[in-house]
Structures are given as C-alpha cells and as structure tokens.
C-alpha cells in the first residue's frame, strides 16, 4: 500500500469518509456527529492519510492536535479520526499500516499521546487498538455519555 498525505477534503479522502459514515449508519443507526473541519487536519497540528492499492483509495486515517485547553485532553495529545479500510481490502494489515504511520507522523509533529473514540459495534477496531498498545481511558467528546462508546490512548515515543 502506498500511503499519501492528503487534505481531509481531497476527493479520494471524501469518498472514503462518505463510506465510513455509511458504516457508522449501518452499525450505530447514524453517522458520526463529531464536529470536524478540513483545517483540523493541516500540518503541523494535524494530518490526514489516504492509502492506495493498485492506485485505488482503500484506507484512510487522520489525527488532529488536542491540548489541555479542553479538560478531556492533555497537552500534546493527537486525536485519531476516520480510521477506515474498505471491506474488500480488510484482513491484509492495512489498518495497522495506517495506524503506524499516524503514530509516527504525530511523534514527528511533537505529539505525545494518541487518543481515540470508537464503539462496541466495532470489535475489530477495538482489537486492533488493544493489540497495538492502546488502553481504555474515560470517555470524551460528543459520545462521553454514550454507553456503547469506548475511548483509548497510547503514549507515543
């Protein structure tokens, strides 16, 4: 897989974001309502990646800087958003590749911890994060009161 830095609103990213939102509708009954702006993912305070296989976009993921001005975050946090692999490309380790690149780029940007929110209807995502060294933390963001929400963090080196 070739991984490229793209804008959050790049056409390939936008198509996979549309697909992941449909996945949320299927699994949870509605799209993710977390407020996001394309500018949230501009370096050096964010980054968005698109993974390509045979020149087709097959995976995405991004992070945006968060700091302690929001009481749910620490200075140096990077919040992961929109991790997704198209169904036909699952099972080949592509999500793990995107995750590793997100962590590496966050470290290079001076971020100290990666945090994320997911849900119980995504057991494969929870398994990926736990097997990659993430541990559960108190819920944050728009889903902090949602019982099916789970939040995770990993200290970055």
List pLDDT tens digits, range 23-39. Answer: 999 999 999 999 999 99
CATH for the stretch 2-155: 3.40.630.30
- Band (pLDDT 50/70/90 cuts) for residue 19 is very high
Q: How far is the C-alpha of 23 from the C-alpha of 53, rounded, in Å?
A: 21
Helices (H), 6-139: 11-28, 94-108, 123-131
The C-alpha atoms of residue 21 and residue 16 are separated, in whole angstroms, by: 9
Q: How confident is the model at residue 125 (pLDDT cuts 50, 70, 90)?
A: very high
> What number of other Cβ atoms are within 10 A of residue 120's Cβ?
13
Q: Is 136 in contact with 150 (CB distance < 8 Å)?
A: yes
What does pTM read for this prediction? 0.96
pLDDT number for residue 98: 98
Query: For residue 91, how many other CB atoms are within 10 A of its CB?
Result: 10
Burial of residue 36 (CB within 10 Å: 0-12, 13-18, 19+) is: middle
For the cut 90, the answer to whether the pLDDT of residue 69 exceeds it is no
């Amino acid at each position: 897989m070739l991984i490229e830095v793209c804008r959050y609103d790049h056409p390939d990213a936008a198509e996979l974001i549309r697909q992941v939102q449909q996945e949320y509708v299927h699994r949870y009954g509605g799209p993710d309502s977390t407020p996001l702006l394309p500018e949230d993912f501009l370096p050096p305070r964010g980054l968005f990646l698109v993974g390509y296989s045979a020149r087709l976009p097959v995976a995405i993921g991004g992070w945006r800087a968060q700091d302690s001005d929001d009481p749910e975050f620490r200075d140096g946090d990077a919040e992961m958003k929109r991790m997704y692999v198209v169904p036909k490309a699952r099972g080949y380790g592509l999500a793990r590749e995107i995750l590793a690149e997100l962590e590496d780029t966050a470290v290079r940007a001076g971020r100290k911890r990666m945090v994320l929110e997911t849900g119980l209807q995504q057991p494969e995502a929870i398994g990926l994060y736990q097997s990659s060294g993430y541990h559960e933390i108190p819920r944050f963001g728009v889903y902090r009161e949602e019982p099916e929400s789970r939040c995770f963090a990993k200290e970055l080196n």
